[in-house]
Copies of this chain bind each other. A is one copy, B any other.
Amino acid sequence: MAQKPSIPKGTRDFTPAEMARRNYIFDTIRTVFKLHGFQQIETPAMENLSTLMGKYGEEGDKLLFKILNSGDFLRGADPQLIQSAIAGDDSAKLAAKICEKGLRYDLTVPFARFVVMHRNDLSFPFKRFQIQPVWRADRPQKGRYREFYQCDADVIGSDSLINEIELLQLIDDVFSRLGIRITIKLNNRKVLAGIAELVGAPDKIVDITVAIDKIDKIGLDNVKAELGERGLSAEAIDRITPLITLSGSNAERLASLEEMLASSETGLKGVSELREVMAGTEALGLCADLELDVSLARGLNYYTGTIIEVKARDVEIGSITGGGRYDNLTGVFGLPGVSGVGISFGADRIYDVLNTLNLYPEGIEGAAKVMFTNFGPKEAARSLQIIKKLRESGIPAELYPDAAKMKKQMGRADSLGIPFVAIIGETELQNGTVTLKNMTTGEQSEISTEKLTEALG
């Protein structure tokens, strides 16, 4: 019995047309990474679970795809643990016994592991990029997949803010090339720490940023009410009111922030870092809008300085790129005190944005530039000779492999978007020529084979 084939939910096949579009994105990002001096690495899809577990929080641990040990994986396992698992309890504990390996969940933890394992062979600061898939056992939904690509660039081993300035240039360069208008939002973890000091409630920082983020939608009074509901004292709310209503240019916002955080050494350090990054960036010029946004609170668990987020201006979609500075990424693997800063491009969302705005350039499809029709053995043999020469000149060319009906052959060129069809029939064979048909205009003309390379070049 034949099976009706399917693929696991949350995963995707990519057809040639989709690959062409995806490669356009990856190639653009890769080109810019290289122009900025980043060097590529790759790590295995499988990591030891001891490397992955505990790095993404409890929820993250659950989302790891685990690989069953080979052979007799259950031999000698603890009977009680098995009884629990049959009852649906403590499944994770048994899983940890019968699975040693898991699929990588992101590129950051494998990168940290890589740096520690290869530290003696690396030149620091180490600027690496990595473009590989990651896997998460998330509930699949629109725009969220169980296998997706991340495109990361990190500088590790330097705490200079020049790295931040350079990464903002890199982001700007990528999206300029892709033709996507963006706003880069900037914040600093130390500013958020200063705010927490100000209100005397470090555990409320997420509540505060969530509330601030709503100012445009619900207005000041409602934001204040919400902060009260979330447990902030009236005094604390008063203290951060200037933060909620922060407005004006980036320079004005920085000045307000500085005044407000005057009593917090950490907070002021954050303001000073933001100022330096913004000044350096503005001196170099940027196509993107650059916006100080104190409600930006991504990666609070690991970012320690700059926080970066990129939004597309012309499409309603979540952040399409994000990043920040971390001071102790490799500490957990035994290499403390190494500061780094990195960004991650979300290829799937960028793909959605480009599709929505229809921003792909022409001619990325990647099929052959010319297809030769096939009238039979003699004509095919002659065609293959010419095709060989075309390929040597860098022109992608192919022969229809069967002497099928002409309509079928032309149909192939048409459906693949092959722009030219070359016809060698009896006449052309005798004349030493080829009839070249432009599939866009429909024009065709008989030319000498010597002229063909030129006509297709």
Which A residues contact B (CB, under 8 angstroms)? Answer: 2-8, 11-16, 19-20, 23, 34-37, 39-48, 50-51, 62, 65-68, 70-77, 79, 82, 85-89, 91, 94-95, 98-101, 103, 113-114, 116-118, 121, 123, 125, 127-128, 133, 135, 137, 146-147, 155, 158-160, 162-163, 165-166, 169, 173, 280, 283-285, 331-334, 336, 366-368, 371, 374, 380-381, 384-385, 388, 391, 394-402, 411-412, 415-416
Smallest beta-carbon distance A128→chain B, Å:
7
CA distance A437 to B429 in the complex (A): 59
The 8 closest A-B pairs by CB, nearest first: A37-B398, A2-B334, A11-B44, A37-B368, A16-B39, A74-B85, A160-B401, A72-B88
Closest-by-CB residue of B relative to A51 is B5
CA distance A374 to B66 in the complex (A): 46
* A3 contacts B397, C-beta separation under 8 Å: no
Closest-by-CB residue of B relative to A146 is B46
Smallest beta-carbon distance A317→chain B, Å:
23
* A79 contacts B75, C-beta separation under 8 Å: no
* A117 contacts B162, C-beta separation under 8 Å: no
Residues of B within 8 A of A374 (CB): 162
Closest-by-CB residue of B relative to A132 is B133
Report whether over half of chain A's contact residues are helix, strand or loop; otherwise say mixed. mixed
Closest-by-CB residue of B relative to A71 is B91
CA distance A381 to B75 in the complex (A): 64
CA distance A37 to B419 in the complex (A): 13
Residues of B within 8 A of A50 (CB): 3
Smallest beta-carbon distance A422→chain B, Å:
13
* B13 contacts A43, C-beta separation under 8 Å: yes
CA distance A336 to B210 in the complex (A): 57
A13 with B117, Cβ < 8 A, contacts A39-B19, A384-B162 known: yes
A332 with B46, Cβ < 8 A, contacts A162-B380, A398-B36 known: no
Smallest beta-carbon distance A342→chain B, Å:
13
* A73 contacts B47, C-beta separation under 8 Å: no
Smallest beta-carbon distance A357→chain B, Å:
24
CA distance A13 to B94 in the complex (A): 29
* B45 contacts A165, C-beta separation under 8 Å: no
* A135 contacts B45, C-beta separation under 8 Å: yes
CA distance A73 to B65 in the complex (A): 12
Closest-by-CB residue of B relative to A32 is B391
- Chain multiplicity (copies): 2
* B68 contacts A99, C-beta separation under 8 Å: yes
CA distance A44 to B13 in the complex (A): 6
* A48 contacts B399, C-beta separation under 8 Å: no
Q: Select A91's contact among B13, B73, B159, B283, beta carbons within 8 Å.
A: B73
A and B contact pairs by CB, cutoff 8 A, 17 listed? A6-B117, A11-B45, A13-B44, A14-B41, A16-B128, A19-B42, A36-B368, A37-B367, A45-B135, A45-B147, A46-B147, A72-B91, A74-B91, A75-B86, A75-B91, A82-B86, A283-B381
CA distance A397 to B33 in the complex (A): 11
Residues of B within 8 A of A103 (CB): 45, 67
CA distance A368 to B125 in the complex (A): 14
CA distance A326 to B48 in the complex (A): 38
CA distance A4 to B415 in the complex (A): 54
* A332 contacts B15, C-beta separation under 8 Å: no
- Kindly name the residue among A5, A39, A51, A70 whose own CB sees the greatest number of chain B CB atoms within 10 A: A5
Q: A67-B67, A77-B86 are in contact. List 14 more A-B contacts (CB 8 A).
A: A2-B332, A2-B334, A11-B44, A13-B43, A16-B40, A35-B396, A36-B398, A39-B367, A67-B68, A72-B85, A123-B412, A169-B384, A280-B384, A283-B384
* A391 contacts B46, C-beta separation under 8 Å: no
CA distance A201 to B100 in the complex (A): 47
Residues of B within 8 A of A46 (CB): 8, 11, 65, 135, 146-147
* B77 contacts A3, C-beta separation under 8 Å: no
* B74 contacts A37, C-beta separation under 8 Å: no
CA distance A146 to B44 in the complex (A): 10
Q: Select A48's contact among B6, B79, B123, B395, beta carbons within 8 Å.
A: B6
CA distance A74 to B74 in the complex (A): 12
CA distance A70 to B155 in the complex (A): 35
Residues of B within 8 A of A118 (CB): 13, 15
Closest-by-CB residue of B relative to A86 is B74
